[in-house]
Chains A and B, each alone.
Chain A
């Protein structure tokens, strides 16, 4: 843990100097002098096949009919491909509503975390104020407390302020997270303090120094925190399951879970189509930000 500030300091320079360079062709392997081994490619490809097979099967299955999905032995390629499952999700079931709910919750939660966690993270890393140490210790202590501990009283609280079955009830408990503060603090500790002094000498106000100098520099850290928060919120299941009590407030995972366990005769094609739709947005987010995200994990202090 003591090496974290050092690690985070490399983030800024590494990603700003060569954002598009391939980290894969790292010097570690090159200087190792070992040729790539063909048999490793074979093993890795087989493993990749096993890992990815369920996804391929899921996507293909979403185009099958109920009859084909119950067929034994199971088929791989759809015999008579149909879009019926997808059409039904959005016509007979209320999937567009769930999609909107999931998106609103994930976007607001992510925005809140990026804003509030970077503000406190900056204050803890760069500024001096009364109660700073105590505040840091309390926030870090709760980082270790598992979610199930606060689950019951959080539910009571949200029920008492009348937010059960509402989008604010889904959003508010996740708007800030100790993990985000830790991540952002570690990142800011790695930036040079001279920037702060320079800003002060130029007569900029404290808040202006934060918004005009430090925030624009924290792209990599914000990207990592943003992606992790978005993924977490999009896939969050337990809290929406208890809070979203009426159908019009369901998020995608809740709807999918209830359709997969609740019905007497499960429509498997619908489930597989629904599961495919749940994955698409996170897959898109991940594909776009993949490199920054993995670099971020390696260097922002999660390690």
Chain B
């Protein structure tokens, strides 16, 4: 991410009192190239980010849409209100549940599949890879349509299969105790393809030499996995767990179209509660919750960087 030496040299030339003709041309060309992106970025990303921050300390409601400067500044009231709101707390619990159970499950599946495809087999790799990746490229809405069928209590495919081995399957989406396990199952199925491909790429960068050396020293397959593969894979694990947790903390689309947060708020997530408050027109309140999500993501990411980068 550091600038290379020639660039640094150029920049010194550019900052001198009379920039060279070439340097001036280069600067103009660069800004011509940058301008379209910057204009769109300023209007549709940066401005909303700043406005959201402002909204979060105001009592903005949907009726204030056309007169944005008539709202009252309420300080941190929205934030304290969110933190003491029982539904928001329930949503925090559900989100933590989803991340803490769902993420290890998703990443475990991904790593197992990647190891099997990388080392275990030689033929039909592309077929397995494509099959495992298929759920990722599928619209969540299409996935939900199918999974609502699969998870049905009486006639669902999953409970039918469970019935074959004598298990009386639960009412997955109708029982508050089983709604989250149902969604986690679906989310793991849907999402393990992306980390799998990234793990595969990471595994291919582990030098075969290291495995050979460990083998000669008499290391078992498990020992080699523990002491060669895992340490070499550390940067990949960091990347995959950071991106997956950022996605999972924003847990939203699955409950929205599968359960709409029910039954009894058992699947409502913080993103979803934010979205619902936005729908009710409580813009200031919703904005404060969106920043709480941002803070949570930042904290979790920082923790992961500490854990995975320093404990080498």
Residues of A within 8 A of B (CB): 1-3, 24-29, 31-32, 34, 36-37, 40-41, 43-44, 47-48, 51-55, 57-58, 61, 70-74, 115-117, 119-120, 122-124, 127-130, 132-133, 135, 138-139, 142, 144-157, 159-160, 172-173, 175-176, 178, 181, 193, 200, 205-207, 210, 231, 234-235, 237-238, 252-253, 256-257, 260-261, 268, 271-272, 274-276, 278-279, 282-283, 286-287, 290, 294, 297-299, 302-303
Contacts and interface: CB of A to CB of B under 8 A. Distances in A.
B222 interface: no
B45 interface: yes
Contact of A28 (B22, B189, B197, B204): B204
7 contacts: A36-B123, A54-B135, A54-B147, A119-B36, A120-B33, A176-B37, A176-B45
Interface string B38-81: 10110111111101100100000000011010000000000000
Given A52-B134, A238-B252, 14 more contacts: A2-B1, A24-B125, A28-B206, A29-B118, A37-B121, A44-B116, A129-B30, A142-B41, A152-B283, A155-B278, A176-B41, A237-B253, A256-B145, A261-B260
Contacts of B121: 36-37, 40-41, 44
Interface stretch (B83-91, B171-179, B288-296): B288-296
B93 interface: no
B134 A257 contact: no
Contact of B135 (A51, A193, A253): A51
A128 B10 contact: yes
A164 to B, nearest CB: 11
A260 B51 CA distance: 35
Contacts of B11: 128, 132
Interface residues of B, number: 113
A278 B44 contact: no
CB-CB nearest 7 A-B residue pairs: A206-B29, A298-B201, A275-B142, A129-B30, A153-B51, A150-B48, A153-B48
B294 A146 contact: yes
B83 to A, nearest CB: 17
A34 B119 contact: yes
A298 B198 CA distance: 7
Contacts of B298: 144
Nearest to B2: A2
A226 to B, nearest CB: 14
Interface string B269-283: 001001100100001
Interface string B16-42: 000000110111111111101110110
Which of B14, B125, B301 gathers most chain A CB within 10 Å? B125
